[in-house]
Structure 1
Amino acid sequence: MAGLFDKSEQKNRERVQPLAARMRPRSLDEFAGQQHFLAEGKLLRRLLKSNRISSLIFYGPPGTGKTTLAHLIARQTESKFFSLNAASCGVKDVRAVLQQADNELAASGRRTILFVDELHHFSKTQQDVLLPDLEKGTVIFIGATTDNPYFALVAPLLSRSQIFEFEPLSSTDLISQLHRAMSDSERGLQSTGVTVEDEAFEFLAKGADGDVRRALNALEVAVLSVTDLPVDEKVVSLEVAEESLQQKSIRYDRAGDEHYDAASALIKSIRGSDPDAAIYWMARMLDAGEPPRFIARRLMISASEDIGNADPHGLVIATAAAQSTEMVGMPECRIMLAQACTYLACAPKSNAAYVAINEALHDLKTQEVLPVPKHLKDRHYQGAKELGHGDDYQYPHNAETGWVDQDYLGVDRTYYRPTNRGYEAKILARLQALRNSTAEAEEKS
């Protein structure tokens, strides 16, 4: 009777769980289709088959299966399972679980999985508490985090763990999960008799941004909202789906990898002359609360690093946008930033000035520092003339062309190599003309 009661109680608990919890995969094979690293032949799958699981870090956005996979691993390895949330537990809680795990291992030889969700909330001290038991193998540690572990976790913990990155589910995968929920009579919503239109499925899948939990819970809200209607009106339309999906909150950590990844995507889109991609990444940063001053600084840097003298106006426009941003602020400064962003993306590109300064700095660090040629030295202080400083210097403005053939470095080196793009093509032509005239003069002499 006790067994029957337990099963009945479990079913009652499942009925009150949200749809996303009820529809969790029940086997590794069922889960494998959601994340590539669990496919047949992959490292994690091999470790599970050989029962050689050690410490794992699951890193990825919400609703991609980190907690679910931890439970499946516990079932696969027949391990005792403890779950903590780093946002609400302390060192005392961690030590208590570790002690129980040690007792369990000594008494029965059975290993324990300690799953810590939101691991990035653990302080350095709390992370350090785990290390001795991880080293001894007392527990199989599984940590889940939405933050980049290389930013959030201490090096000793990283070195003792295998890191697996979870990817957001594609819209196609999410639509498949939604159809599965609607056709499942045991755990899903088939018994409601509700029909879901294809447009509603597509909207929920796209609006969930790869978060299967969000997609399934929104589907459940939509279905329950029409369940009590007449039979011919039990339909989840696009309009019903739109009402059921909460306004999404863009995942963005201004101190972590989301910040750096978005900034990188912005600059690389400008460099690649794609104004549409550039404006999208900038919009994402602004919408997530990125300080517009930071974006303005990045645009100024790109104006010199990626556009340079191919379009000298790029730096002027980027600087004007930065100044306008300081004076106007959000939301209006988004317009100036958008103007600068799209201008830079569409401008001809050259990194010749950027390369030139880097090569010159490299030579200063790795080669003998060149002395200033005597004819270029300052002769405006007392005694300079007696030392011969500035002797034989030729003043270019006195020449008819405004240029004279004169050595300004003391060695034959070339750092600035203009491209043949945009305004820089004119610079290239002028330099070539000057060099040709020098070569002709040498031939005549």
Structure 2
Amino acid sequence: MSRVDPAQPDSLFDAPGERPADPAPALPAERQPLAVRMRPRGLDEVIGQEHLLGPGTPIRQLVDRDAPMSLVLWGPPGTGKTTLAYVVAGVTRRRFVEISAVSDGVKKVRAEIETARRELGMTGRQTVLFVDEVHRFNKAQQDALLPAVENRWVSFIGATTENPFFSVISPLLSRSLLLTLQPLSEQDLRRVIERALTDARGLGGAVALTDEAADHLVRLAGGDARRALTYLEAAALVAGAGRADAAKATIDVAVLEKAVDRAAVRYDRDGDQHYDVISAFIKSIRGSDVDAALHYLARMLEAGEDPRFIARRLIVHASEDVGMADPTALQTAVAAAHAVEFVGLPEARINLAQAVIHLALAPKSNAVITAIDQAIGDVRKGLAGPVPPHLRDAHYKGAARIGHGEGYKYAHDFPGGVVRQQYAPDTVRDRRYYRPTRHGAEARFSEVLERIRAVLRGPRDGR
């Protein structure tokens, strides 16, 4: 459904009373959702996204100079994409038209573009054409936007939660300025909540929020300002705000839990719970208790832990505690980390859970970390003798005269690609760092390793 400013005709060509009726009349301001009522009216009211809105930034320049623009706003839900579109239109006093890629098609897009083109030609007034969820438009639908963007009949602003390099066609992306929005920080969310509590457009001081409830609300919001305001509004209703016979309502943790049907998880990302839970999480995976591991994963996600932190720990664990017993564990962990970046929460919880299940059920081996730590230990003890002459670089002029490369045996010239010769310095010639277990795939590597060592080192390796 497209939206235009209800206070005026769509354009010079729409006389009063001739504008097609919206499917549903606009709600009075006091009945609009809290998130809509609290929408900033200017760039200075926007909270967060300082990297986009500071002095000298592109969007400031575009707004201050009132220049035609085309923007693609990419970021998670609730980070201000729609807000920025409204603010840009309001500050520059441009006609604002919103199209939803979920419900509107090419016919609607072309009709709005034609109206904007005629208005520009007759009055010089520009139109901001905001396409929400632009990634949901197929190629043909996005192609319909190109003439308007190319000829600047409209100032196009597209919002997407998906990577635009995959979801927006190249011609449209190349004609637009790509701005990446970040999830709001905890401090930003607290400012959003405080403004909604006190501002006359919001709750107007009729509700008090306890510190514990504010902490829980910030965790639940997960960087999403819209979610924070939606939950706050629901909690205010549960607390009885707005009743004529009620004193100032108070939202505590119990009220917030009841309003959003989400229990508060005791978890301090900078305190003991953070370290205790992640420790229990890794030890549960190491101990192959998949159910306990999933419990701790859920606990961290529900408490608002950074999913990238969880993914990084899984990558480390895949090599530290699974290693060569299941070499695919590292691939799964890395893929989950990529999924967190590419998909984001809440969907990425599934990818993280898959990685947790894989690692918990995989055969375990700490042979990798033991091997590298022992090798590092020897180096730190000074056991780093000279490289054997036959392995030294022999490509530069004069290397042969000093014996570099002399006697080197090219492994591919021998059966099996393995030939007996010394590779390690004399100081660690007989060291065995990697000692594979008999767990999982590492049992096969153990057999292969023994055969290789027998060829490389011969009888000397028998001790």
Q: TM-score range by the shorter chain?
A: 0.5 to 0.7
Match in the other structure for 2:154: 139
In structure 1, stretches of 5+ residues that fail to align are 1-5, 249-273, 289-297, 320-331, 352-369, 378-406, 439-445
Letter paired with 2:226: R
1:103–1:203 distance in 2 versus 1, CA, 3 Å: same
For 1:414-425, list aligned pairs within 5 A: 422-423=434-435
Q: Is the 8 A contact 1:307 1:350 kept in 2?
A: no
Q: Is the 8 A contact 1:58 1:145 kept in 2?
A: yes
In structure 2, stretches of 5+ residues that fail to align are 1-6, 9-24, 264-280, 286-292, 303-310, 332-352, 373-409, 425-430, 437-445
For 1:203-352, list aligned pairs within 5 A: 203-225=216-238, 226-227=240-241, 228=243, 234-245=249-260, 275=282, 283=297, 311-315=323-327, 337-340=358-361, 343=364, 348=369
For 1:144-183, list aligned pairs within 5 A: 144-183=159-198
Distance 1:64 1:129 in 2: 27
Distance 1:420 1:45 in 2: 62
Match in the other structure for 2:201: 187
Letter paired with 1:47: L
1:276–1:42 distance in 2 versus 1, CA, 3 Å: farther
SS where residue 102 of structure 2 aligns? coil
Match in the other structure for 1:130: 145
CA RMSD, Structure 1 to Structure 2 (Å):
5.0
Distance 2:129 2:177 in 1: 15
1:96 Cα deviation (Å)? Answer: 0.4
4+ residue segments displaced more than 3 Å: 32-35, 228-233, 274-284, 305-308, 314-319, 332-336, 340-347, 370-373, 407-414, 419-422, 430-438
SS where residue 348 of structure 1 aligns? helix
Return the match for 1:22 from 37, 40, 48: 37
Q: May I ask how many residue pairs the two structures share in their alignment?
A: 328
Distance 2:82 2:136 in 1: 16
Letter paired with 2:96: F
Q: Is the 8 A contact 1:33 1:39 kept in 2?
A: no
Match in the other structure for 2:103: 88
Return the match for 1:68 from 83, 91, 94: 83
Letter paired with 2:185: S
1:17 Cα deviation (Å)? Answer: 0.7
Q: Spell out, residue by residue over 1:377-412, the C-alpha distance to the aligned partner (whole angstroms, 9 max, x if none).
A: 9xxxxxxxxxxxxxxxxxxxxxxxxxxxxx857999
Distance 1:36 1:344 in 2: 45
1:276 Cα deviation (Å)? Answer: 8.1
1:140–1:345 distance in 2 versus 1, CA, 3 Å: farther
1:372–1:207 distance in 2 versus 1, CA, 3 Å: closer
Q: Is the 8 A contact 1:79 1:111 kept in 2?
A: yes
SS where residue 178 of structure 2 aligns? strand
Distance 1:154 1:349 in 2: 49
1:123 Cα deviation (Å)? Answer: 0.8
Match in the other structure for 2:378: none
Letter paired with 2:212: E
Q: Spell out, residue by residue over 1:282-336, the C-alpha distance to the aligned partner (whole angstroms, 9 max, x if none).
A: 957xx99xxxxxxxxx9xxx89x9579x9543449999xxxxxxxxxxxx99885
Distance 2:62 2:179 in 1: 13
Q: Spell out, residue by residue over 1:74-130, the C-alpha distance to the aligned partner (whole angstroms, 9 max, x if none).
A: 122222111100110111101001101110111012221110001111011000111
Distance 1:346 1:17 in 2: 61
Distance 2:101 2:371 in 1: 48
Distance 1:175 1:420 in 2: 56
Asked if 1:201 corresponds to 2:214, the answer is yes
Letter paired with 1:147: E
1:47 Cα deviation (Å)? Answer: 2.4
Distance 1:171 1:31 in 2: 15
Greater mean deviation of Cα atoms: 31-40 or 126-135? 31-40
Identity of aligned pairs, percent? 34
Q: Is the 8 A contact 1:81 1:114 kept in 2?
A: yes
For 1:38-117, list aligned pairs within 5 A: 38-117=53-132
Letter paired with 1:172: Q
TM-score, normalisation: structure 2? 0.58
Q: Spell out, residue by residue over 1:34-71, the C-alpha distance to the aligned partner (whole angstroms, 9 max, x if none).
A: 44311222222122222334210011111111111101
Greater mean deviation of Cα atoms: 24-33 or 45-54? 45-54
Distance 1:53 1:229 in 2: 49
Letter paired with 1:188: G
1:333–1:102 distance in 2 versus 1, CA, 3 Å: closer
